């Protein structure tokens, strides 16, 4: 008997820091192709997939505003960066044979569809991977918040947050060898302990709407599929039976 996936519809959040891979800046073609192959594997199991891409590998609003740039302008630049990543992911997915559509929260007709919820749902029903770019379309937000928001809107069963570490730790595992990894966490613990895995807006949106989050390492081959199949990977935040 072939095992059934645990989830029918997922939102996969891929941050810029995953896409940069071993490069210093920009997009690693090795990483983006590897992730695309994994997404393909997930779709062949009949799972509907939407992806929210970050932009931190290209531009981060807060960093630029700390150097004196107007925050809203810097954030719009950050949102444009996510469109660049979205197009790169679309290219890699289509090379892997996966039909995709990019929908941007900031209108950009020549390169992407505008974000239209019902249209996104239709694409997913037709087994197309929908890439949500442009974040929420608003400054002062993050692509993690965009992922939570879109997850709610499309009725996703889970938010899979792909990172470059194995899950949520009590301190930065890149800096502290003694850092402890959590297997499970409640939303409120993430907020109270200030665990910085996601910003508070994103976490509280998931909390209010009971959306489970799985934080896992995207660098380990097969992890996306493992998470979708319900195998134990990374850290689970929230209620998930
Ligand atoms: N951003 C924004 N509103 C959003 C999503 C993103 O203003 O709804 C901007 C913000 O400046 C952010 C940048 O886009 O720094 C890139 O997104 P993010 O930092 O979330 O990307 P990641 O850390 O996932 O790579």
Question: What percentage of the chain reaches a pLDDT higher than 70?
Answer: 99
DSSP of 67-134: TT--HHHHHHHHHHHHHHHHHHHHHHHHHTT--EEEEESS--TTTSEEP-HHHHHHHHHTTPEEEEES
- Give the three-state DSSP class for 214: strand
How confident is residue 173, by pLDDT bands cut at 50, 70 and 90? confident
Q: Which residue has the higher pLDDT, 196 or 53?
A: 53
Please report the atom of ligand 1 found closest to the CA of residue 105: 8
Residue from 15, 28, 51, 60 to probe ligand 1 pocket by mutation (most atoms less than 8 Å from CB): 60
- Residues whose CB is less than 8 angstroms from the CB of residue 71 and which lie 6 or more positions away in sequence, other chains included: 61, 62, 65, 139, 140
* List of E strands, the chain: 9-14, 48-53, 100-104, 113-114, 129-133, 158-163, 168-169, 181-182, 184-185, 213-217, 235-237
Nearest CA to ligand 1 atom 21: 54
Ligand 1: distance of its center to the CA of 90 in Å?
Answer: 19
The pLDDT, as a whole number, for residue 196 is: 86
Q: How far is CA 1 from CA 38, 148, 169, 237, in A?
A: 22, 34, 36, 30
Q: How far apart are CA 195 and CA 66, in angstroms?
A: 22
pLDDT tens, position by position, 154-172: 999 999 999 999 999 999 8
Nearest CA to ligand 1 atom 22: 54
Residue from 26, 134, 135, 147 to probe ligand 1 pocket by mutation (most atoms less than 8 Å from CB): 135
Nearest to 54 by CA among 84, 21, 92, 10: 84
Q: How far apart are CA 86 and CA 103, in angstroms?
A: 9
Across residues 29-53, what is the average pLDDT?
A: 97
Across residues 4-16, what is the average pLDDT?
A: 97
How confident is residue 194, by pLDDT bands cut at 50, 70 and 90? very high
Ligand 1: distance of its center to the CA of 202 in Å?
Answer: 12
How confident is residue 33, by pLDDT bands cut at 50, 70 and 90? very high
Ligand 1: distance of its center to the CA of 145 in Å?
Answer: 9
Token look-up 């950050």 returns 78
Query: Which residues does ligand 1 sit against, CB inside 6 Å?
Result: 15-17, 54-56, 60-62, 74-75, 78-79, 81-82, 135-136, 138-139, 141-146
Token look-up 């073609």 returns 29
How confident is residue 1, by pLDDT bands cut at 50, 70 and 90? low
Across residues 56-72, what is the average pLDDT?
A: 94
pLDDT tens, position by position, 122-156: 999 999 999 999 999 999 999 999 999 999 999 99
- Give the three-state DSSP class for 225: helix
Q: Is the pLDDT of residue 46 over 90?
A: yes
pLDDT tens, position by position, 71-122: 999 999 999 999 999 999 999 999 999 999 999 999 999 999 999 999 999 9
How confident is residue 241, by pLDDT bands cut at 50, 70 and 90? low
């Amino acid at each position: 008997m072939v095992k059934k996936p645990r989830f029918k519809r997922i939102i996969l959040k891929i941050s810029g820091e995953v896409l940069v891979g071993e490069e210093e800046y920009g997009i690693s073609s090795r990483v983006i192709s590897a992730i695309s192959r994994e997404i393909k594997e997930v779709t062949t199991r009949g799972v509907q997939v939407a992806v929210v891409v970050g932009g931190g590998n290209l531009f981060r609003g807060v960093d630029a505003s700390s150097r004196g740039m107007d925050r809203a302008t810097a954030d719009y630049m950050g949102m444009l960066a996510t469109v660049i990543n979205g197009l790169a992911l679309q290219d890699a997915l289509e090379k892997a044979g996966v039909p995709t559509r990019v929908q941007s929260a900031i209108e950009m007709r020549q390169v992407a569809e505008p974000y239209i919820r019902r249209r996104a749902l239709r694409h997913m029903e037709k087994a197309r991977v929908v890439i949500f770019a442009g974040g929420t379309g608003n400054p002062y937000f993050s692509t993690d918040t965009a992922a939570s928001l879109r997850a709610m809107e499309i009725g996703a069963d889970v938010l899979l947050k792909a990172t470059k570490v194995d899950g949520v730790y009590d301190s930065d595992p890149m800096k502290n060898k003694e850092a402890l990894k959590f297997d499970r966490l409640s939303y409120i613990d993430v907020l109270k302990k200030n665990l910085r895995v996601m910003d508070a807006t994103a976490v509280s949106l998931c909390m209010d709407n009971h959306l489970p989050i799985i934080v896992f390492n995207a660098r380990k081959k097969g992890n996306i599929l493992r998470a979708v199949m319900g195998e134990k990977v990374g850290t689970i935040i929230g209620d998930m039976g």
